[in-house]
Amino acid sequence: MITSFKGKKILVTGYSSGIGNCLIKKYLSLGAKVYSTSTKLEFKKKNLIVLKCNFLNQHSQDIFFKKIENITFDVVVNNAGINIIDEIYNIKDQDIEKIIRINLTIPAQIIKLTSRRMIKRRKGKIINISSIFGSISKSKRASYSSSKSGLIGLTKASALDLAKYNILVNSVSPGFIDTKLTRKILGKNLMKKMKNQIPLKKIAKPDEIIPYIIFLSSDNNNYITGQNCVIDGGFVIQ
């Protein structure tokens, strides 16, 4: 099965994240022109355009949306996300708002904006990066789980709204991924503990998630929409 994205324009939010960075490199290697976002960087390099945007700042978001509103994307990947761990009775209101905004509100607004031009062409793929914590949860994840569960709901509803325009919308829910953010949040000891709790006895690398996103966003996928693809080494089926 040959996969090519030559001539396609792709938006992947979250340039610096583990999955986002790996995914962008893969899209570029397959011939795509990729647009992305970063809270710190803005640059253009061959087929990669990174736009500076802080989604927690409305003015910054408005500038970013203005820059992309006239671009017809073939693929949109809502990858940017945050996680703040705390008990529901302790977490600050502003932290709840941050998590919901970045993980759910922004993806909804990006879908709203970019799908309008996809509709005119009657073609497009949208992938939302959710999490296994959108389906299950644990202590100190109330806000995060709420946002990721909402993102799966957004995926299903958007898929129904956009199906008549041949726009396919799916979500991918990774389990524990070996990234800098995961190591920072869990720490070495908890990482080891989590590894032993996964049936496959390993924590996935970001590049192990990429093939599924590539397939769902490629021309090889013409019929899968409204689905949530869980990639977790068997963790949630225990």
Q: Is residue 2 part of a domain?
A: no
**Which of 136, 161, 160, 162 is CA-nearest to residue 149?**
136
Amino acid at 92: K
Range(s) of the domain holding residue 44: 9-177+206-233
pLDDT tens-place string over residues 101-116: 999 999 999 999 999 9
Q: Is residue 190 part of a domain?
A: no
Q: Looking at residue 224, which CATH number applies to its domain?
A: 3.40.50.720
Rounded percentage of the chain residues whose pLDDT exceeds 70:
100
Sheet strand arrangement including 9-12: 43-45, 48-52, 33-38, 9-12, 75-78, 124-129, 167-174, 228-231
Q: Is residue 96 part of a domain?
A: yes
Q: Is residue 186 part of a domain?
A: no
Q: Is residue 199 part of a domain?
A: no
Cα-to-chain-centroid distance, residue 116 = 20
Q: Is residue 189 part of a domain?
A: no
pLDDT tens-place string over residues 153-197: 999 999 999 999 999 999 999 999 998 778 887 888 888 898 999
Q: Which of 144, 165, 212, 223 is catalytic?
A: 144
Does the active-site annotation cover 35?
no
* pLDDT at position 90: 97
Rounded percentage of the chain residues whose pLDDT exceeds 90:
89
Q: Is residue 195 part of a domain?
A: no
* Gap between the Cα atoms of 201 and 220, Å rounded: 31
Q: Is residue 187 part of a domain?
A: no
Look at the chain and report how many structural domains it folds into: 1
pLDDT tens-place string over residues 3-52: 899 999 999 999 987 899 999 999 999 999 999 999 998 999 999 999 99
* Gap between the Cα atoms of 30 and 21, Å rounded: 15
Q: Is residue 71 a contact partner of residue 35, using CB atoms and an 8 Å limit?
A: yes
